[in-house]
Amino acid sequence: MHNWSTELALTYHEETKHSYDSLYRSRHFLDWANQPRPFKLYPGLEAIPLPADLPVTQVPALLAMSHPSETTVTTPLPTLHDLAYVLLYAAGVTRRRVYPGHGEMLFRAAACTGALYHIDLYLTVCDLPGLRAGLYHFDPHDFALCQLRQGDYRHVLVEASGNDPALQEAPVIVIVGDTFWRNSWKYRARAYRHSFWDAGTILANLLAAARVRTLPAHLTLGFADAPVNALLDVDTNREVALCLVGLGAAAPLLAAAPPVEPLHLEVAPLSSEEHDYPAIRIMHAASSLESPEDAAEWRGVALETPFSPATGDLFPLCPDAVDRLPPAALEDVIRRRGSTRQFAHQPLSLTQLSNVLVRATQPIPADCLAAPGTRFNDLYLIVNAVADLPSGAYVFHPQEQALELLRPGDFRLQAGALALGQELAADASVAVFCLCDLLAVLEGFGNRGYRATQLEAGILGGRMYLAAYAQGFGASGLTFFDDDVTAFFSPHAADKSVMFLIALGYAARHRRSADAASGTS
């Protein structure tokens, strides 16, 4: 079975690293005339409009990212309004901007590499108030659902997952799908990493939005791939299912699903031609699970990644108490969110940074993270400007809820250099890197662990975006020179692989307006 041929994941990761060499040797250029459309469209299907009169809940975004024990969760059957809320704030269009000569650009609720929006959400539902049982595609462009199949197909997904208990009574199972070409057009084979980064930022939003609507939500990464892709009826060389999300509770399964026949639906072409990046297909096949039994076995794995005790100075986090969190409501935060394009050198407070780290690392409800102590990524930081925290390189100790100073110093220049020479990381107050012990992950979870690690990193990053905007400052995901980052944080991070980078800080615009307000500009 491929999942245990873990040299395939190591090869993929190695071959898609950024280095000075790979970047400057590259002859790749962007063929703008062939840019893929950022929406999947089914021209022959009727759109079922989603309600626009969505509830304004005012639930603080930071609370929405909290562990379930910190909020009240009931178990209602979701309404169409609940689904509309979750879909809008996970993956809907939240901002429009006109670029003279280029037309209108539709930005989405969650950050996405290159704004290419290659992730689609599908819903498999039983009969719900306002929605008949079926398989639906969410169309963010028209804020609508398109019905692909009629009938209750949840059984297919539960079976594919090897009867994951978290899916068994979920009235809604979201399938997170990815169309490779929509991102590989720009990023080539590295786009397979982006599959999970960009699914992860959406899932961070989705989990928070579900919490606000008091819908239990749970991620399932272990499933036999073929039956799930067959349900979507996608050409798996181009589009695949990445993850399932059980939403809601108390909706027992029917004894069986209707048969899964091919759909023969027309899908609008993405661009005049599509290029194939075999490394993506190979890595996806290598991390596929063949049977429900494989999925059930995969889910049971625990990953012990011992953290060496701190040897450097420890700085305890000082987050706000749960009942005193900044009050910005989730819906406002997501509508305001956008990647910061220029950071000011204005410092964050240690409480602000603590809130980001504490909220981002709240447990993620997921099959592969269920065993106590299991986590894939460790957080390493370059602190440029945080009050009461010396500038330098740090690692986050989750048990102690503290930052260990690995190396003091002003590392703004290095931060920018590690982020492919992008000033965003140099100017930001903090750059947070997710690193993992890839060999340990692959030993425990096989190649499928690679998907899980990238996805966890994307969710952590997505939560950091929300936690930043909830506190009035900004964030931007960034790409990086892989081996240079590992070298920078070594020896502590020796042998670890970089999965994600996000920069945090006030937008430069913010400082100008703050200066103007105080009469200093």
Ligand X SMILES: Cc1cc2nc3c(=O)[nH]c(=O)nc-3n(C[C@H](O)[C@H](O)[C@H](O)COP(=O)(O)O)c2cc1C
Is 183 a binder of ligand X (CB under 6 A)?
no
Candidate segments 84-92, 113-121, 144-152, 284-292, binder of ligand X by CB under 6 A: 113-121
Q: Which is nearer to ligand X, 397 or 412 (CB)?
A: 412
Stretch touching ligand X by CB under 6 A, among 8-16, 109-117, 356-364, 382-390: 109-117
User: Does the protein bind ligand X through residue 88 (CB under 6 A)?
Assistant: no
Give bridge partners of residue 314 from the DSSP assignment.
404
The CB-nearest residue to ligand X is: 477
Candidates 107, 147, 310, 342: give the one binding ligand X (CB under 6 A). Answer: 107
CA–CA dist 30, 38 (Å, integer):
15
Q: Within 13 Å and on the Cβ side, how many CA atoms surround 200?
A: 27
Helix H or strand E encompassing 212? helix 191-212
Which range binds ligand X by CB under 6 A, 43-51, 277-285, 475-483, 490-498?
Answer: 475-483
* Main-chain phi, psi angles of 125, to 5 degrees: -130, 155
Contact status: 201 vs ligand X (CB under 6 A): yes
- Half-sphere exposure for 350 (CA within 13 Å, toward CB): 12
Exposed, middle or buried by CB within 10 Å (0-12, 13-18, 19+), for 38? buried
The site string for ligand X over 433-452 (x = CB under 6 A, - otherwise) reads: --------------------
Nearer to ligand X, 91 or 249 (CB): 91
One of 479, 489, 496, 504 touching ligand X (CB under 6 A): 479
106 sits near ligand X (criterion: CB under 6 A): no
DSSP state of 151: S
Closer to ligand X by Cβ: residue 12 or 187: 187
* Cβ-based nearer residue to ligand X, 224 or 432: 432
- Interaction between residue 478 and ligand X (CB under 6 A): yes
Residue 409, classified by CB atoms within 10 Å of its CB into exposed (0-12), middle (13-18) or buried (19+), is exposed
Q: Residue 274 CB, nearest distance to ligand X (Å)?
A: 22
Q: Is 205 in the site for ligand X (CB under 6 A)?
A: no
Q: At what angle do helices 438-445 and 448-470 cross, to 10 degrees?
A: 120
According to DSSP, residue 254 is labeled P
State the minimum distance, in angstroms, from the CB of residue 308 to ligand X.
28
Q: How many residues bind ligand X (CB under 6 A)?
A: 17
Determine if 197 is a binding residue for ligand X (CB under 6 A): yes
| Angstrom distance (rounded) from CA 297 to CA 301 | 7
How far is residue 169's CA from residue 345's CA, in Å, rounded to a whole number?
49
Q: How far is the CB of 375 from ligand X (least distance, A)?
A: 19
Q: What is the contact mask toward ligand X in residues 396 to 425, using x (rule: CB under 6 A)?
A: --------------------------x---
Distance of closest approach, residue 339 Cβ to ligand X, in angstroms: 3
DSSP character string of 164-194: -TTTTT-SEEEEEEEETHHHHHHHGGGHHHH
- CB nearer ligand X, residue 357 or residue 501: 501
Strand 402-408 relative to strand 392-397: parallel, antiparallel, unpaired?
Answer: antiparallel
Sign of CA dihedral 126, 222, 114, 462: positive
ω into 491 cis (within 30 of 0): yes
The residues that touch ligand X, with contacts defined as CB under 6 A, are 107, 111-115, 197-198, 201, 338-339, 422, 461, 476-479
